[in-house]
Amino acid sequence: MRDVGVGKRDVPVLAQDAMLQGRLLQNNPREITQNDAQKLYEAAL
């Protein structure tokens, strides 16, 4: 993600936007919170 200019300051917005993907979230075998999504994005940096 860093290679395309995504930084730590972008993570909260990315996590918030990810939570709007209802179809994908409902098919996920585990429930995910916005905090979980944020941690995933931070780990990907």
Please report where in the chains the tokens 């995933």 appear, as a residue. 40
Burial class (CB in 10 A: 0-12, 13-18, 19+), 27: exposed
pTM score above 0.75 = yes
The per-residue pLDDT for 29 is 92
Which candidate, 27, 20, 6, places its Cα nearest to that of 37? 20
Average of per-residue pLDDT across 23-44: 94
Number of domains in the chain: 1
What residues make up the domain containing 7?
2-44
Banded model confidence at residue 44, pLDDT cuts 50, 70, 90: very high
